[in-house]
Structure 1
Amino acid sequence: MICMNVISRQFFGPSIGFHSEVAKFAVVISTFMGISYAARKGRHISMSAIYDTVPWRIRKAMAILIPLVTALILFALTYVSFEYVVNEYERGTTTAYLGMPTYLMYLFIPLGFFMGGIQFVRNLFVNIVNKEVYIGTDALDYNDNKPEDRHIDDQMQV
């Protein structure tokens, strides 16, 4: 939609009026619905400089602590963003060109936060139940995670 608007402006003069509204809807929906998918597949952004260098036991502890904290934050953001959606609904604001209620777009924000929080809780339980380290419900840790490596890490700590 954004590319079509650029082409339209360049070759035909006027801009497509509703392009920014459609692009905004697409970005909000894909961003916030993607939180849950990224958490499940272990594709979320992570600062792994410390995580990658610590022994297996510490990585395992971090694989339990990080999803717990992240889930709590996402659930708090769910609450705050839901209040914002309710506020938008009560105000009755609509988009300029399409005339759609803005709360319909913003509804995907708390939904995405909530679904992401559920995925991080699942990641937490997967790491508690299994001996391996998981970075997502469907993704094992990308570091060498073989049982013999754990013994080497354990011996090095002694």
Structure 2
Amino acid sequence: MRRILRSLNNIEEYLIIGLLSVMTVVVVVQVICRFIFKFSLTWSEELARYILVWTTFIGASMGIKRGAHIGIEAFTLLLPEKFRKYVAAFGYILCAIFTIIVFKESSRIIHKQILNHQISPAMGMPMWLAYLALPVGTFLMTLRFGQALFELFKPDKDISAQQRASKEV
């Protein structure tokens, strides 16, 4: 299981690095073409937008894994130590339920996109490829919430997201 999660970590990180690199190059080329050569690439803004959507959802999964998402710990710090894990677990479960619902609904949207053969205006690519970021991202987030829940109940683990993030860096 660790091997699979480590592979998933690597895939997410390399995807983010690759996608952000492509997006940066595309935007820089677009700026150079627009301001130096006085013409505009019709597809560059659309591609950058779709890449941003993909990196957002993959990055959200990475954020869950690293405990980097914003959380309100003021309430949980008021609770006795023995209840904090259970409150955190409840939060992870609620978030996992939400991502499962979003996964299910976004999968329906993908199915409709495939049936309707909708294409993007500038690039002419199937729109389901852009929309696919949502179910892929929410699937990864659901896995990460499950992983966080599992990690929470390991014997020597503390629930503080700050401590988890600092241990991994």
TM-score range, shorter chain: 0.7 to 0.9
Name the aligned partner's letter for residue 43 of structure 1: A
Residue by residue over 1:48-104, the C-alpha shift from the partner in whole angstroms, topping out at 9 and shown as x without a partner, is 343455442343222211111110101011011111111111110112232210101
- Is 1:95 the counterpart of 2:95? The answer is no
| 1:141 Cα deviation after fit | 7.6
**1:125 aligned to 143, 150, 155, which one?**
150
- Is 1:4 the counterpart of 2:1? The answer is no
**2:138 aligned to 113, 134, 143, which one?**
113
More helix by share: 2
Name the aligned partner's letter for residue 100 of structure 1: M
Unaligned runs of 5+ in 2: 1-25
When residues 117 and 106 of structure 1 are mapped into structure 2, their CA distance, relative to the original with a 3 A threshold, is same
Distance between the aligned counterparts of 1:98 and 1:141, measured in 2?
A: 39
Larger radius of gyration: 1
Matched ranges for 1:128-143 at <5 A? 128-134=153-159, 140=164
Distance between the aligned counterparts of 1:22 and 1:115, measured in 2?
A: 23
Distance between the aligned counterparts of 1:6 and 1:47, measured in 2?
A: 40
SS at match of 2:39: coil
- Is 1:47 the counterpart of 2:47? The answer is no
TM-score (normalizing by structure 1): 0.76
1:37 alignment counterpart: 62
Name the aligned partner's letter for residue 30 of structure 2: N
| 1:12 Cα deviation after fit | 2.3
SS at match of 1:50: helix
Matched ranges for 1:48-87 at <5 A? 48-52=73-77, 54-87=79-112
- Dislocated runs of 4+, deviation >4 Å: 52-55
| 1:134 Cα deviation after fit | 3.6
Distance between the aligned counterparts of 2:137 and 2:115, measured in 1?
A: 21
Quick check: 1:134–1:141 contact (8 Å CA) kept in 2?
no
Q: Identity across aligned pairs (percent)?
A: 24
Name the aligned partner's letter for residue 85 of structure 1: I
Distance between the aligned counterparts of 2:57 and 2:111, measured in 1?
A: 18
When residues 141 and 92 of structure 1 are mapped into structure 2, their CA distance, relative to the original with a 3 A threshold, is closer
Distance between the aligned counterparts of 2:43 and 2:165, measured in 1?
A: 44
Residue by residue over 1:102-138, the C-alpha shift from the partner in whole angstroms, topping out at 9 and shown as x without a partner, is 10121121011011111101211222343522456xx
Unaligned runs of 5+ in 1: 143-158
Equivalences, count: 140
Quick check: 1:123–1:135 contact (8 Å CA) kept in 2?
no
Distance between the aligned counterparts of 1:141 and 1:16, measured in 2?
A: 40
